Amino acid sequence: MREFDGNVAVVTGASGGIGRASALAFAGKGASVVVADVKAEEGIETVTMIKEMGGNALFLRTDVSNSADVRMLVGKAVETYGRLDYAHNNAGIGGANAPTADYPEEDWNRIIAINLTGVWLCMKYEIPQMVKQGKGAIVNTASVMGLTGLTQVCGYTAAKHGVVGLTKVAAMEYASQGVRIAAVCPGFVETPMMDEAARIGGVEKDAFYAALGGFSSAKRVGKPEEIAEAVIWLCSDAASFVTGSTLVVDGGWTSGYALR
């Protein structure tokens, strides 16, 4: 018997990168997976990958910044599978690169809406179902930028700091009702979002990742699967006494940040 057999997971931003890796990892442990994203074609590809490995999944097009979409997502997951045991609130965007005073207001509003409000909306609808069941685990994707700062990315940094704080508050509120809530803080990871950053910057992808990897103690960027393994552990019974925590998975990037 696999560890998550009979359980149900929702993963947002699961059309690729960390979200896809997480969805596949949940399925590999036996969970039925609800794949959520605004990118329908890629999201359906994730479902196909899960089914090809013998798993059970469905795709729901979801804009996490839209309350009605998120309410539908959680409602449909429960309607289809009867419960909700795990949630990986992972959907996010990179946003603009500009100094704080020059940061475009429309970019600020969009990144806060998706990266921060989206996480809150997901928890708003996930938590009541888990409380009703008496048990559940939620992992929110924050970032090393939720623990430190980086120039030119004030919107992303502010949103991810918000996710860390929101995670702590919600964890304190619902721990006594059986719901554990934590955040995972990835460093630089090889994802479609980072590929796009390289393209926008006019940098060859391999050179871009090599340069980013040089900032970590591990001297490389991470793989989506490495972040997914952290998410799975946080949701598992092995982490039964872990809540309100931020698990940093960055190859040692933040540990040496002050030395650079």
Active-site annotation holds for 156: yes
| Residue 219 CB contacts under 8 Å (≥ 6 apart), including other chains | 213, 251
CA–CA distance, 93 with 115 (Å, rounded to integer): 7
Place of tokens 């996710």: 163
CA–CA distance, 69 with 243 (Å, rounded to integer): 27
Contacts 24+ apart (CB under 8 A), 126-129: 126/10, 126/74, 126/84, 126/87, 126/89, 127/170, 127/174, 127/179, 129/74, 129/78, 129/83, 129/84
State the catalytic residue, choosing from 125, 156, 174, 209. 156
Coil/strand/helix, residue 55? coil
CA–CA distance, 4 with 100 (Å, rounded to integer): 44
Active site residues: 156
